[in-house]
């Protein structure tokens, strides 16, 4: 069977799941005790489905796994929105998602690759937000199941992408900023590998000038992919260490309208992109390390 484009294949799978879920919700009773907590669980054919306020989690594993996935995603969403978007549940600022974000936990790598498409063979998670006429039409995260760490290996990373898209509906968040923030939600082991790649890039004189990195519209070639990811998270971390994480998002928004030099001066007191490059390299040379500026991964790993 030929591969469909990702957006078409996602639409087909999502429609099939949606129709099944609607039918199941009318034909099936919840078999678990989660309704009082705002979660509804039911089955539809091979799918175990759990729905919370902002998520629909689908898995072939069990209702317990679907419930665990949906409720973990709710907690992570709250943490990520408070950190990056400065929203607080206590002040009633936290808006619900319409449409909900669908999370599909695939039973194996083959099922995952069939849904996500070519190029995903060496990944364990993927996210896709469809926007039409400045409105979000769908949110979806695909994860590889059959792993003990399915809640921590990719969910926080991919959910960061989805959360940030709420502030960049009519425009695209720059590649480096999108990946840099998401990597800060990864496990310490994964972050460590990116830092090792950055160290290697420095030794090979393969790092990017800041001006090149922040204006990059697409990913680089395979030979510099490690440098791209390592430098993206390091540069994001450097700026976040100076101010709160939500200020970083404000900086990226301002850079999109006023340019990077003006945004750097207004948000961080840095004269221009060349000065950013100079200060960041000094930051790396000083041996500065992560200070847990992003959402702790302990929530996902503890469940």
Q: What per-residue confidence (pLDDT) applies to 39?
A: 87
pLDDT digits (tens, 9 = 90+) for 142-156: 999 988 898 998 999
Q: Are residues 146 and 222 in the same domain?
A: no
Share of the chain above pLDDT 70, in %: 81
Q: Are residues 98 and 201 in the same domain?
A: no
Strand order in the sheet with 55-59: 40-44, 47-51, 55-59, 101-106, 135-144, 125-132
Q: Are residues 155 and 229 in the same domain?
A: no
> How far, CA to CA in Å, does 254 sit from each of 45, 135, 138, 168, 181?
48, 21, 26, 11, 17
Range from 13-17, 68-72, 133-137, 194-198 carrying the lowest mean pLDDT? 13-17
Share of the chain above pLDDT 90, in %: 73
**What is the rounded average pLDDT for all residues in the chain?**
86
Mean pLDDT confidence for 130-135: 95
For residue 192, the SS3 value is helix
Give residue 112's pLDDT band: very low, low, confident or very high (50, 70, 90): very high
Q: Using the predicted structure, report yes or no on whether residue 9 has a pLDDT greater than 50.
A: no
Q: Are residues 45 and 106 in the same domain?
A: yes
Q: Are residues 186 and 41 in the same domain?
A: no
Alpha helices in the chain (DSSP H): 6-27, 63-85, 109-116, 155-165, 175-183, 188-203, 210-214, 225-242, 245-258, 260-268, 273-285, 298-302
Question: Does a structural domain hold residue 293?
Answer: no
Q: What per-residue confidence (pLDDT) applies to 35?
A: 45
Neighbours of 265 (CB within 10 A): 14
DSSP sequence for 73-109: HHHHHHHHHHHHH---GGGT--PPPSSPEEEEEESSH
Q: Using the predicted structure, report yes or no on whether residue 52 has a pLDDT greater than 80.
A: yes
Q: Using the predicted structure, report yes or no on whether residue 67 has a pLDDT greater than 50.
A: yes
Give residue 95's pLDDT band: very low, low, confident or very high (50, 70, 90): confident
Quote the CA–CA distance of 6 and 1 in Å, as a whole number. 14
Question: Does a structural domain hold residue 186?
Answer: yes
Give residue 119's pLDDT band: very low, low, confident or very high (50, 70, 90): confident
Q: Are residues 16 and 165 in the same domain?
A: yes
Q: Are residues 151 and 239 in the same domain?
A: no
Question: Does a structural domain hold residue 49?
Answer: yes
Structural tokens at position 253: 């928004």
Q: Are residues 181 and 165 in the same domain?
A: no
In this prediction the pTM is: 0.85
Query: Whose structure tokens read 């926080």?
Result: 156
Q: Using the predicted structure, report yes or no on whether residue 29 has a pLDDT greater than 60.
A: no
Q: What per-residue confidence (pLDDT) applies to 89?
A: 60
Q: What per-residue confidence (pLDDT) applies to 68?
A: 96
Q: Using the predicted structure, report yes or no on whether residue 278 has a pLDDT greater than 50.
A: yes
Domain residues for the domain of 269 are 177-285
Give the list of residues 6+ apart from residue 282 with CB closer than 8 angstroms, or none: none
Question: Does a structural domain hold residue 117?
Answer: yes
Q: Are residues 44 and 150 in the same domain?
A: yes
pLDDT digits (tens, 9 = 90+) for 184-193: 999 999 999 9
Q: Are residues 98 and 130 in the same domain?
A: yes
Give residue 26's pLDDT band: very low, low, confident or very high (50, 70, 90): very low
pLDDT digits (tens, 9 = 90+) for 232-263: 999 999 999 999 999 999 999 999 999 999 99
Q: Are residues 157 and 183 in the same domain?
A: no
Q: Using the predicted structure, report yes or no on whether residue 126 has a pLDDT greater than 80.
A: yes
Do 254 and 303 contact (CB within 8 A), yes or no? no
Mean pLDDT confidence for 76-105: 87
Q: Using the predicted structure, report yes or no on whether residue 44 has a pLDDT greater than 90.
A: no
Q: Are residues 20 and 158 in the same domain?
A: yes
| CATH assignment at residue 45 | 3.40.30
Q: What per-residue confidence (pLDDT) applies to 294?
A: 43
């Amino acid at each position: 069977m030929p591969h469909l484009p990702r957006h078409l294949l996602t639409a087909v799978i999502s429609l099939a799941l949606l129709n099944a879920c609607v039918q199941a919700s009318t034909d099936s009773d919840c078999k678990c005790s989660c309704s009082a907590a705002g979660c509804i669980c039911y089955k539809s054919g091979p799918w175990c489905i759990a729905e919370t306020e902002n998520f629909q989690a689908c898995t072939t594993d069990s209702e317990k796994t679907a419930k665990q996935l949906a409720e973990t995603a709710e907690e992570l969403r709250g943490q990520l929105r408070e950190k990056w978007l400065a929203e607080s549940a206590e002040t009633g600022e936290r808006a619900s998602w319409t449409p909900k974000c669908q999370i599909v936990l695939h039973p194996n790598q083959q099922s995952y690759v069939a849904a996500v498409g070519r190029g995903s063979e060496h990944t364990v998670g993927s996210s896709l937000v469809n926007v039409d006429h400045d409105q979000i039409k769908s949110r979806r995260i695909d994860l590889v199941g059959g792993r003990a760490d399915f809640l921590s290996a990719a969910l926080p990373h991919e959910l960061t992408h989805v959360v940030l898209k709420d502030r960049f509906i009519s425009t695209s968040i720059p590649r480096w900023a999108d990946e840099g923030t998401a990597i800060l939600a990864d496990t310490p082991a994964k972050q460590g590998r990116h830092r090792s790649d950055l160290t290697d890039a420095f030794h090979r004189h393969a790092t990017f000038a800041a001006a090149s990195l922040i204006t990059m519209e697409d990913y680089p070639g395979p030979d510099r992919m490690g440098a791209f990811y390592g430098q993206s998270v390091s540069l994001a971390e450097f700026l976040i260490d100076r101010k709160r994480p939500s200020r970083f998002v404000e900086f990226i928004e301002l850079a999109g309208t006023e340019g990077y030099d003006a945004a750097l001066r207004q948000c961080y007191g840095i004269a221009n992109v060349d000065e950013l490059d100079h200060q960041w390299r000094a930051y790396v040379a000083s041996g500065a390390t992560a200070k847990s500026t992003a959402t702790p991964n302990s929530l996902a790993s503890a469940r």
